[in-house]
Amino acid sequence: MSIRSLVESEYAAQTEAFAGSEILRSLRSGKAPAKAYDDFIARLCRTHLNSPQILAFLYSLAPPRVADPLKHNMLEELGLDKAGVAHPELLLRLARAAGFDEQERATLKAQSQSELRRMCTDPILFGTFREFGLTVLLEVTCFEWMLSRLGKPIGDLLAKHRGLSQADLLWFTHHSEVDQRHAEEGLDAVVEYATYYEFEETDFRLITEIVFRENVFLKRYFAKSEVSRPALMLSL
Amino acid sequence: MRIDGITIFCLRIPFVEAFRHSTSARSFSDSIVVRVKAEDGTVGYGEGLARSYVTGETVESLVAHIVNRLWPAVARSDYSEISRNPDPLALLSSINESLPETSDGVIAWHGARTAIEIALIDCLLRSEGLSLGRILPAKRQLVIYSGVITTGSMEAAVRHARYFKLFGLKYLKIKIDTTNPVERVAAIRSAVGSDISLRVDANGAFDARTAGKVLSALNDFGVDAAEQPIGRGHPEELAELRVSSPIPIVADESLVTLADGRALVDARACDYFNLRLSKCGGIFRTLQMARLAGSAGLRVQLGSHVGETAILSAAGRHVAAHLENVDFVEGSYGSLLLAEDISRDSVVFGHGGVAPLLRGPGLGINVREEVLRNYAQNIISLSTPARPAHFRKGEVRNVSTNQGSHQVAGKTPASQARAGSIVSGKHSKTFPA
């Protein structure tokens, strides 16, 4: 199996498990309590508010051949491209529309920042940025892959069951559109990253397994730990 | 300094993977975390684990022992003089002496003692703004941890070994049982190369004869130590095996109490003591056993229990840094194994298994109480009935649980527990007295 196929199959498995998860189905059904929608919005904001910084990190590690798309992705997030819409602002607009007051939105920003801080203070298991960068790249591009497929349905469920307007849900519609391109570029970036940094296939596979040992979407959006590959998980 | 109350959290934190060895399999952490609150408002955290096949404790009996025996003793004690004592080690000794010693029905109530002892140490040190490192001065600036490979399929074991190689770990311990132990070690040695130190742990899976054969065969693969090849029994049996074994022997399940340690030393039954805080009864007793090992010329492995949270990991980090004669250290697996750990900052080691010293007050970690509550199956609160001056409006006196409060005038927690009046979790439970 090529690296591209391997990675794409992981993204598909992660996305499929997320789409079929009990918690997402509950939100889709409209039977979840209002708090469940708000908790989801809060965690979504915390996950993505600092995406520009994460992309800046990836840009700094990017192999020359994929540096431009990553830079463009980062500029898009910052609202410094032609569209001129900063994605963190879209998330905060979503939070405001969902009833998060100024203090609560400030808390979301602080929590997102603390995740970044944690990323910097937690010990790194890998020996170099080469491996650590790959774990970040895999997770970021997996999110883009998922959002290109589920961004619109998730936006629709929030419109239907949480009463949010299309303007409030622009972050989802925007991602469902631009991430189709980002998803393809992301796969290219992973393949090029693996080639440029001369990963051995065994190591690449092991790192991929480590990144996707849990469902990354359930973990980030719902703080749920769901093992995706019980027989092959990291064990200590 | 008096302790106004304690809260017991019976956790159930999922693992990201099931862990297996020859005597047990588990897929979640069932740690017992204890929070003590001093009269000045300072809070400290401790942790213990119930392992019936090691100390004889179960989760229920461990909690009951805290409620019935340890908490009443803590509530009666005044730790003011202890915390003011200029000899830091006196703190550990005095806390140990304040806790009653019984072993009715078990090998030792060490999980329960550990949870209380560490919580008291954390609390009293925090109250003074001191780090545990002040009491246990570090002999090294970094602690280097081993990886542990669980039993299971050969394919999974080899894969795990490759993970650890990728993480730069220098030391691996392989759990073995009666299923192809030699082939297992051979495959892992082949996967990781010759630069990584390998040890094996049988958790008492073999009879003496089989153990002898297996250890002889394993010697071809550069195994540095073999832990508990046979079950806990007479030290003489382990001593006989040691004489014939080409691999140094580590005593684990055979070593729970200080008396066990003396018997092992007297019988010349092992080369290493495997010390685990929760198994040995806390920091003070672990240090006593380490001292015994040192005086007998033995080396030490500082092990851990599967599922320990950041509390025991932090305590273990301090002890590992302090001990002179420690060769191997385990634990600090945190969120590598747990779906979520309970400390704000990670205690997980980094590349090479390397972890820094913890320098903050007490244990040096900040426990996130919201995480404790999120994963607690039961929460039991006990407060001192004798000091109403510290009773605050809205605070439950004596006993409360996460099923609601139970204010029982004139009854001690112990008497309530004996009477079976503590409601635990979703079901009413009677704790064995």
Q: Torsion angle, CA of B168/B173/B177/B179, rounded to 10 degrees? A: 30
What are B27's two structure tokens? 């897929």
Q: What is the set of domains in chain B, with CATH numbers?
A: 3-132+366-428 (3.30.390.10), 135-356 (3.20.20.120)
Angle among Cα B397, B400, B401 to the nearest 5 degrees reads: 170
Q: A100 pLDDT exceeds 50?
A: yes
- Which has more confidence, A231 or B90? B90
Q: For residues A42 and A128, what is the distance between their CA atoms, to the nearest angstrom?
A: 33
Torsion angle of C-alpha atoms B332, B335, B336, B338, degrees rounded to 10? 100
Provide the 8-state DSSP code for B203: T
Average pLDDT of the residues in A63-83: 92
Q: Which helix (H) or strand (E) holds B27?
A: strand B24-29
Please compute, for residue B275, the number of CA atoms within 13 A of its CA located in the half-sphere on the CB side. Answer: 36
- Mean pLDDT for chain A overall: 91
Tell me the shortest Cα–Cα distance from B43 to chain A, in angstroms. Answer: 24
> Is A231 within 8 Å of B156 when comparing Cβ atoms?
yes
A194: domain range? 3-232
Instruction: Report the C-alpha gap between A154 and B293 in whole angstroms.
Output: 61
Predicted local distance difference test score (pLDDT) of residue B45: 98
Q: Which residue of A has its CA nearest to B305?
A: A236
Number of inter-chain CB pairs under 8 A, A vs B:
78
- What type of residue is A20? G
B286 phi and psi angles, rounded to 5 deg: -65, -40
CA distance A41 to chain B (A): 20
Strands B171-175 and B197-201, sheet pairing: parallel
A95 in Cβ contact with A112 (< 8 Å): no
Among A140, A149, A168, smallest CA distance to A18 is for: A149
Compute how many other C-beta atoms are within 10 angstroms of the C-beta atom of residue B139: 12
Q: Which residues of A touch B (CB under 8 A)?
A: 118, 121-127, 131, 202-203, 206-207, 210, 213-214, 223, 225, 227, 230-236
> Token digits for B102?
């019984």
What pLDDT digit, counting tens, does each position of A141-161 carry? Answer: 999 999 999 999 999 999 999
Q: How far is CA A187 from CA A62, A141, B28, in A?
A: 13, 7, 35
CA of B133 vs chain A CAs: smallest distance (Å): 21
Distance CA B193, CA B196 (A): 7
Structural element, H or E, at residue B45: strand B43-48
Q: What is the pTM of this model?
A: 0.87
A223–B16 C-beta distance less than 8 A: no
Q: CB–CB of B378/B10 below 8 Å?
A: yes
DSSP string, B353-364: GEEEPP-SSBTS
Q: Is A33 helix (H, G, I), strand (E, B) or coil?
A: coil
Q: Which residue of A has its CA nearest to B153?
A: A231
pLDDT at residue number A119: 87
Provide the pairing of β-strand B32-38 with B3-11: antiparallel
Give, in order, the Cα–Cα distances in Å from B159 to each of A3, B41, B241.
19, 48, 32
CA angle, corner A144, sides to A141 and A150, nearest 5?
145
The predicted structure's pLDDT at residue A234: 37
**Which residues of chain B approach chain A closer than 8 Å at the C-beta?**
14, 16-19, 147-150, 152-153, 156, 159-160, 162-163, 166-168, 333, 336-337, 339-340, 345-346, 348-352, 354-355
Per DSSP, chain B holds a count of helices (H) and strands (E) of 17, 20
Q: Which two tokens stand for residue B416?
A: 């309530």
Q: Is the CB of residue B199 less than 8 Å from the CB of residue B224?
A: yes
**pLDDT < 70 regions, chain B:** 17-26, 83, 88, 385-433
Q: What is the pLDDT of residues B155-210, one digit of tens each?
A: 989 999 999 999 999 999 999 999 999 999 999 999 999 999 999 999 999 999 99
Q: Which helix (H) or strand (E) holds B206?
A: none
Residue whose C-alpha is closest to residue B63's, from B25, B109, B14: B109
Cβ pair A55, A74 in contact under 8 A = yes
User: One-letter amino acid identity for B361?
Assistant: P
- Asked if B16 and A203 come within 8 Å (Cβ–Cβ), the reply is no
Cα(A66)–Cα(A62) distance, integer angstroms: 6
Q: Which two tokens stand for residue B109?
A: 């109530």
* Predicted pLDDT of residue B115: 98
Identify the pLDDT of residue B412: 41
B148: left (phi over 0), alpha (psi -120 to 50) or beta: beta
State the pLDDT at residue B413.
43
Q: Which residue of B has its CA nearest to A131?
A: B166
The CA R_g of chain B, rounded to the nearest whole Å, is 21
Q: How far is CA B105 from CA B61, B174, B255, B257, B429, in A?
A: 10, 32, 18, 15, 19
User: What DSSP element (H or E) covers A74?
Assistant: helix A64-78
Reading phi first (left if > 0) and then psi (alpha if -120 to 50, else beta), residue B404 is in left
Distance CA B90, CA B85 (A): 7
Look at residues B71, B10, B6 and name the one whose alpha carbon lies nearest to residue B379. B10
Burial per residue of A69-101, b for 16 or more beta-carbon CB atoms within 10 angstroms, e otherwise: bbebbbbbbbeeeeeebebbebbbbbbebbebe
- Residue B80 is predicted with a pLDDT of 85
- Determine the Cα–Cα distance for residues A134 and A131; give it in Å rounded to an integer: 5
Residues A25-53 have a mean pLDDT of 95
Task: Kindly compute the dihedral angle of the four CA atoms of residues A17, A20, A21, A22, in this order, to the nearest 10 degrees.
Answer: -160
For residue B131, the cross-strand partners are B362
B29 strand-pairing partners? B13
pLDDT at residue A3 greater than cutoff 70 = yes
CA distance A33 to B6: 34
Chain B nearest-CA distance from A156, in A, is 30
Q: Residue B13: left (phi > 0), alpha (psi -120 to 50), or beta?
A: beta
**Chain A interface mutation, best of B12, B17, B340, highest count of A Cβ atoms under 10 Å:** B17
- CB B212 within 8 Å of CB B186: no
**CATH classification of the domain holding A213:** 1.20.910.10
Q: Residue A236 and residue B147: Cβ atoms within 8 Å?
A: yes
H-assigned helices in B250-364:
258-267, 277-280, 283-295, 310-322, 334-337
Does residue A215 surpass a pLDDT of 70?
A: yes
| pLDDT given for residue B425 in this prediction | 40
Domain count within chain A: 1
Q: Do A225 and B355 lie within an 8 Å CB cutoff?
A: no
Per CB-CB distance under 8 Å, the chain B contacts of A127 are 168, 351-352
